[in-house]
Amino acid sequence: MIRTVPALKENSVKDNNDMPGHLARRFQQIAVAVFLAEVGDAGFDLTPVQYAALATIKANPGLDQVTLAGLIAYDRTTITGVIDRLVQKGLIERRASPRDRRARELEITDEGRRALRKITPAVEAAQRIMLRGLSAKEGEELMRLLRKAIAAGNELSRAPLRE
């Protein structure tokens, strides 16, 4: 059951910019556009989800696809497509687990490591651009509040974060 919050007063919503869902969607659109522009300008063809998967695989060698999906809060049924594209690009390898034949273990390749090293400045620049209208203190506060709101709603997601 979804925990409810007090109802908005009738006619209290003036427009979409008074709705957190709308603002979250708009910020997501901006974040993806900025990421793709910065990473593309740096010569890379990676989406934000592919980047998150690649960085997580590097940090957790040998993890399986289901665990990866939980760590990046991505839908388990569609993580396969992300993995397929990273394999096609030569950035990771997928192989059967020696412990569980049904599971696929993931390893970053040397090319994947090189790509992460080269792409990091572009990803960091994208993060700065996303927060460019805020002071450093406001950026920290936004991040704190986003983490708090996400933690409170994590289990409501189709793809909850699993640590």
**Angstrom distance (rounded) from CA 73 to CA 67:** 10
Output the six-digit token pair for 86: 């990273």
pLDDT beyond 60 at 3: no
Residue 1 covered by a domain = no
69 lies in some domain: yes
Tell me if 80 is assigned to some domain.
yes
Domain annotation covers residue 91: yes
Helix (H) or strand (E) holding 107: strand 104-108
pLDDT at 58: 97
**47: CATH:** 1.10.10.10
Query: Are residues 92 and 57 in contact, defined by beta-carbon separation less than 8 angstroms?
Result: yes
What is the number of structural domains in the chain? 1
Question: To which residue do tokens 């063809």 refer?
Answer: 45
18 assigned to some structural domain:
no
pLDDT tens-place string over residues 33-57: 999 999 999 899 999 999 999 999 9
| Domain annotation covers residue 5 | no
11 Rama sector, left if φ>0, alpha if ψ -120 to 50, beta otherwise: left
Please report where in the chains the tokens 């990771």 appear, as a residue: 92
User: pTM for the complete prediction?
Assistant: 0.84
Measure the N-to-C terminal CA separation of the chain; round to a whole number of Å.
22
Instruction: Determine, yes or no, domain membership for 103.
Output: yes
pLDDT digits 0-9 by tens, 65-123: 989 999 999 988 889 999 999 999 999 999 888 887 778 899 999 999 999 999 999 99
The type of residue at 5 is: V
- Could you tell me which residue, 31 or 8, shows the higher pLDDT? 31
- Please say whether the beta carbons of 48 and 81 come within 8 A: no
Q: Does the structure show a pLDDT above 70 at 9?
A: no
For residue 86, the enclosing domain spans 43-156
